[in-house]
Structure 1
Amino acid sequence: MHTEHHWTTTPITADLVRGAAELEPTAHGVLPHRLPARARAQCTDARLALAEAQPSGVRLVFRTRATAVELETMPTKLVYLGAPPRPQGVYEILVDGRHAGEASVDGGTTLTIDMTTGAVERQPGPTGVIRFADLPQRAKDVEIWLPHNESTELVALRTDAPVAPAADQGRRVWLHHGSSISHGSNAMRPTATWPALAAATAGVELVNLGFSGNALLDPFVARAMRDTPADLISIKIGINIVNADLMRLRAFGPAVHGFLDTIREGHPTTPLLVTSAIYCPIHEDTPGPGAFDSDALADGQVRFRATGDPAERAAGKLTLGVIRDELARIVQRRGHDDPNLRYLDGRALYGESDYAELPLPDQLHPDTAGHHRISQRFAELAFATDGPFADQNS
């Protein structure tokens, strides 16, 4: 057993955290946010608040000779009444870029959500500790990836040797915004989301602004992207616009232009890739809103369905097909004056034949194998030598 005096406690500060916009001081420690306070103040939507505080792509990164690392956290776990239990959030440790273990934290706050009424009940609980031991006894870069689907207050970092911020590897920073699929829904661990996998394949630093249910062309997200340093930028747009049923075609085009205009204010020549939704049969030609399939819930399964009428497309209701056509048209038009803007049809990442082989288990989100497929395709297409994210220095 270790004795207490072997352990060094290191304050968790911004120079040890990557992928977060800011760290909010809390009663227990600090809470990583993926949107800055100014952006959060402009939207009171509870689902966005949950999503942006779930630290997809956020990791502690440091250099140390420690052979044992402890992280004390206060997670927030979600329970949906009537739905199957959600898997525990996973913390993953990487040593010099290689997977070296994973663990989950018991305890924490529990939010019980009634999907029929929207009522939320909060049950406080204790902090929890994960420990990774038997690490190599040498100087090394250590990354602890936080759960992509479980917000987590960072309480204390303890090691059996001193910790210093890791050196900047000089890798390009890839800033990505998208929906729950980019957030990582249904991936089993934080490095298995498709953006994390694609970033690892391409050797770039990920900043993931994938927000479950909230890729809605919000101006405050565009401003956050404008103000975030980045070498490569992508936005993946479509599915939430349809399944939230928030806008019609008349509003959609100008909203896309405005979003791109805002990003370009801060990144006038940065490679910018606009990607449409992956293949999703329920919404290809059927507008939203999307809804839980009540029959499936009664059987203890989570599935989604489209509730709109395809005939309503004539009145400007949006489907994935309509949105892909509009995005392609917008990017082509803007491309005359913006040679660093490109379009990627999301069906090139996951199309009809992929759906036949690796179906979407809940009709909306890919599983871990699906994330892997999407990441491979994105890396091949975006980071190819003639792709929009080609490394000009290689």
Structure 2
Amino acid sequence: MNAVGAVLTTGIYCRDDCPGRPLPANTTRYPSAAAAEAAGYRACHRCRPYRQESAAVADMPELVCRGVELIADGALDEATESGLAGRLGVSPRHLRRMFLQHAGVTPDQLARSRRAHFARRLLDDTDLRIADIAFAAGFGSVRQLNRVLADTFHGAPRELRARRRVTDRLQADGGLALRLTHDKSLDFAAALAHLAARATPTVEAVSSTSYRRTILIDQDPGMIEITQRSPAELLLVAHLPRLNGLIHHVHRARRIFALDDPAKTCGSWDPFEVGVHDIVRAGVADAARARAILGDLAGRFGTVVPGLAPVGLTRMFPQPDVLARADLDALPIPDATVHALRSFAQAAADDGSATRPIDRSRRSPRSPERGPRPSAVAGSGRSKP
């Protein structure tokens, strides 16, 4: 997490690169913005620390790291700290104690701060309606959004939007444009090359300047495109059937480029995909052939996505329940790989929370760009080459 400095004499907290220079004697350190807010400080208007995404938590105990990741994926949207503690195999009291000791906040306080910061960025960067922002940030109602923003930023949503700067608002030719900030350590060209070598044909499309992929939002198709905006920012343009749960989709997009943990290699939108990729590559030595098999897998068992063929996207990545019952014998892979894929897919279908990010998107309200409901594609073919 990004540590911040809180100024005792003004009641604000700042990023380390803030142009203001308070006396060190008047400053106290907190491990995160959420911790400073829990102590009663408000965000600085000059450096606006809410616009900086939290960095990695690799220096914290594994329990806290896993808890933070689950919270980022929405574990506390409709559940309690007790439910989160149960998923982590500890008591609620121990979980709160560990979070307070190492993150400076309880799990609930961290989730609340993440939602507030994301809503504030949407107020700055977009012209979305207040109601859409509330649900996109994971709030249960506009009233809850108003209350949390008043507590965190000392203002109502319309007042906060009125303070945004002229350069804040992002525009895109269709879709919703959002910033993905990072610490400037990302080599974007190298990241694209790495992703291109692993991309699943028809599901992902990588060029020299952009990464595109299809995504599934509550059984409806969407698409994201990521390009570089500046040395410290990527630009995410999301074409989504609805905005509910947008905060978690943005977190997944950050995970593709490992923005929150530069020590890791670029990853994937979905941990289930990573597992399938690893199983196929373990059974097929040649990387190009393994990639072709993954494309075949998507072509046979992935849901059709209409309208995106001009950018090379026509399928969703196959879902766990589909792969668990699919006829995989027609694929040119060893029998052991077929068995491993079926077992992994069945395990993911039986307990999705263990292998997939949480998706708590609701059915309404809907974005005006809702896509058509796709039809399923059944796999066929019996003989192996």
> How does the TM-score come out when normalised to structure 1?
0.22
Q: Which of the two has greater helix per residue?
A: 2
> How does the TM-score come out when normalised to structure 2?
0.23
